Structure 1
Amino acid sequence: MSRNRIMVIGCPGAGKTTFSNELGKRLKLPVVHLDVLNWRDNWTPVSRETFDELLLKEVSCERWIIDGNYGRTIPLRLKYADVVVYMDYSKITCILGALKRVVRNYGKSREDMGSNCPERFDLDFIKYIWTFNEANREKYYEVLSKEANIEVFVVRNRREATQLMDKLIYVAFCR
């Protein structure tokens, strides 16, 4: 089975971007951050139509890792994906991850965001993280359970994510 198109989803703060960047580097796969497609200067989102056009262009490529949620686009990405990595972490882990990211990058624009979107502390975003699993976990498991032709990996902590990365790299280089 091919592993050239990998979706990475999960709660904000779980480490999707860090995981995707490292896996992309080690597997020599291009990494697409959905936030880069969505955000323009000063946290201005693109139109839904523009986002969908940009995403369709990316999923149509032969090789990629796509990092991010954007729930309404999961069915489209699943049509093209070979592998899904669902980072189903605790809300505490995700909030701590998001807070660490804010502290490390405060006032700077990250490469996995749109241009000129400086990192900031946003209490509403922390609340969103707190309720993310309750709002999304069941839907994610339901959607992923219907995918017979896609390898689905669920990791529940950073140790499991590291083990999965090692497994994906080992299999890729042993083919």
Structure 2
Amino acid sequence: MRVMVVGISGVGKSTFAARLAEAAGLRVVELDLLNWGPDWYSRTAEEPEAFMQSVDQATLDDGWIVAGGYSKVWPIVWTRAQHLVWLDLPRLQVMRQVIARSLARAASGDDVFPRCSEGFERLFRADHPIRWAWNNHRRRRESIARAVADPAYAHLTVHRCCTRKEADRVLARLSGRDL
């Protein structure tokens, strides 16, 4: 099974992917882990071809779940995927989640990615996930909706989850433990 999990920052893509991977015995490809290097070095900005090659290599075989919102990789991943899980939760719910996650990470000082910590000073950056989620919720929803409607992706089974209960039902279905 090949699954792509999409949605706005903070919606729970990584959590959903990890839960599905454990239940279905699949591996997770975290796009953020492929992108972020030490000290917030962005491969998509600094070496986009290498980033795309990493995604290409990670999705050549069968049995994966890709989690991430990088629309640049959609032509690669969506073409190969069988299922698209679209976590499309309401903006306020996403904001509660992303704020709680960001504050917990800032307080702990733990690395989000190797040698990338989310300290309190990062909370005020324009590209911080809190701001990104607030400013781009509607745009991300619209861009995913347009992509889902593209005939190039008609082969995908699209699971649009607008609530946590819907996401739990999709997870159960995909892992073979239908509720």
What is the TM-score of this pair, normalised by structure 1? 0.88
Q: Given the alignment of the two structures, is residue 131 of structure 1 paired with residue 152 of structure 2, yes or no? A: no
Change (3 A) 1:52 1:89: same
* Aligned equivalent of 1:8, options 5, 9, 17: 5
Cα deviation 1:88-127 (Å, max 9, x = unaligned)? 11221112111221233321113xx3x1111234242222
Offset of 1:171 from its aligned partner? 6.2
Amino acid at match of 1:57: Q
* Aligned equivalent of 2:149, options 145, 150, 153: 145
What is the rounded CA distance, in whole Å, between the counterparts of 1:42 and 1:91 in structure 2? 29
Aligned to 2:93: 93
Cα deviation 1:24-65 (Å, max 9, x = unaligned)? 011000001000000111111121111111111011121100
What is the rounded CA distance, in whole Å, between the counterparts of 2:118 and 2:37 in structure 1? 13
Amino acid at match of 1:153: H
Offset of 1:71 from its aligned partner? 1.1
Amino acid at match of 2:59: V
Contact 2:2 2:83 in 1 (8 A): yes
What is the rounded CA distance, in whole Å, between the counterparts of 2:134 and 2:102 in structure 1? 16
Aligned to 1:120: 119
Aligned length: 166
Aligned to 1:20: 17
Identity %: 27
**Structure 1 consecutive aligned stretches of length 4 or more whose deviation exceeds 4 Å:** none
User: Secondary structure at the residue paired with 2:14?
Assistant: helix
Aligned to 1:50: 50
What is the rounded CA distance, in whole Å, between the counterparts of 1:20 and 1:73 in structure 2? 17
User: Secondary structure at the residue paired with 1:24?
Assistant: helix
Q: Where do 5+ consecutive residues of structure 2 fail to align? A: none
Amino acid at match of 1:23: L
Aligned CA RMSD, in angstroms, stands at 1.6
Contact 1:16 1:68 in 2 (8 A): yes
Aligned to 1:105: 105
